[in-house]
Amino acid sequence: MRWDPLTYDAQLSIEWIQQRRPLFILLFIAYTLFVFNMPRIWKGKRSQGLATIIFYWNAFNALADIVLLLGLLPDFLSSFHEGFYSSLCLNDGLYKNPRSGRAIFTFHISKVWELLDTVLVILDGRKPNILHVIHHIVISISMIYSYQHIGAMARWIAITNLSSHSALYSYLAAQSCAWKRRTCSARVINVIQMAQFPICLFGLIKIRQFVNARKKCETSYNGPSIIIYSSFFILFILFYVNKYRKDNSSKEIFKSNSKGLTNFCHSSLCHAFLGFLNSERLV
C-alpha cells in the first residue's frame, strides 16, 4: 500500500489482508507449535540481554497503542451523534477517514505481532499460561478474518483494548526498568484489562437490540462475539480469583515460623504455588 497522508483506500487494506491470510495462518501454526514444544526444549533457561529486549518491546507496544488510541479517539467521541446506535451500528468514516482508517487497520495487524509476547516469556525462562496462549490465538485469528466485517463495533473493541494495553505495556516497561517487583498497581492494571470484556459485551447486546428493532446496523459481528467475550470474561475472572487467592496464601506462608515453612514447602501446594510464580504475566 502506498503511503498518502491525505487519502486512504479501505478496499486496498481488505485486499492486503486477504492476500496474506495464508501467511498469517502459517504464522499461527508456527506460534502454537513453538509455545507447546519450546518450553520442554528450553527448560527454563534465560537468554542474556533479554531483559533489555523485553523493556524496549514493552515500551514500543505502549507507545504504539497510545498513538493508535489517539488516532481513533476523535472518531469514537464523534460517533455518538445519535447515541449508542450511531456509535455501534454506523461506520461513518471509521474505515475511510485517513486517520481512523489507518489506526483501525494497524490495530487489527497489531494482534499478530503481539504473539511475540509469549515467545519472549518462554525465552525468559517462564512458563506461558495456557489461557493467555489461547486468548492470543483466538483474538489474532478473529482480527485477521473480521477486518471491516466487524463494522462499527470495531471502534469499541479497539478503544477498550488499546486503553487497557496502553496501561499494561506502560506498567510492564516501568516494572522492567524501575519497579523490580509487583506492586498494588498490578491489580489496577488487571481490573482495567478485565473491564474491556463487560464493556464490549454491553455493546454487542445493544447491537442485538438494534437489529431486533430492524434498524440499519453495519456489522455482522454479534452472536459468535458474545460467546467469545463471555467465555474469556468468565475464564479470566476464575483465573484472577485463583491468582489472588494464592497471593493471599503466600502472605500466610511468610508469617509462619521456619519449621512450619519448611514443612509447607514439602507439600504439593507449595510446589503448585512456586509453579504459579513462574507462570506468564498477563500480556
Q: What is the pLDDT of residue 224?
A: 75
pLDDT band at 148 (very low <50, low <70, confident <90, very high): confident
Q: Which of 102-106, 123-127, 150-154, 246-250 has the highest mean pLDDT?
A: 102-106
Ramachandran region, residue 151 (left: φ > 0; alpha: ψ -120 to 50; beta: rest): left
Q: What is the pLDDT of residue 263?
A: 43
Q: What is the pLDDT of residue 219?
A: 83
Which cell is 73 given? Answer: 479517539
Res 153 pLDDT > 50: yes
Query: 119, 103, 105, 137: which is closest to 38 by C-alpha?
Result: 119
DSSP annotation of 267: S
Tell me, yes or no, if the pTM score tops 0.85.
no
- What is the C-alpha separation between 188 and 110, in angstroms, rounded? 24
Query: 23, 28, 33: which is closest to 138 by C-alpha?
Result: 28
Res 1 pLDDT > 60: no
Summarize the confidence of residues 131-141 as an average pLDDT: 89
pLDDT band at 6 (very low <50, low <70, confident <90, very high): low
* Percent of the residues in the chain that have a pLDDT greater than 70, as a whole number: 80
Summarize the confidence of residues 145-168 as an average pLDDT: 92
Summarize the confidence of residues 141-148 as an average pLDDT: 87
**Mean pLDDT, the chain, whole residue set:** 81
pLDDT digits (tens, 9 = 90+) for 53-71: 999 999 999 999 999 999 9
Q: 62 near 173, Cβ under 8 Å? A: yes
* More confident site: 279 or 142: 142
Q: What is the pLDDT of residue 76?
A: 96
- What is the C-alpha separation between 58 and 179, in angstroms, rounded? 14
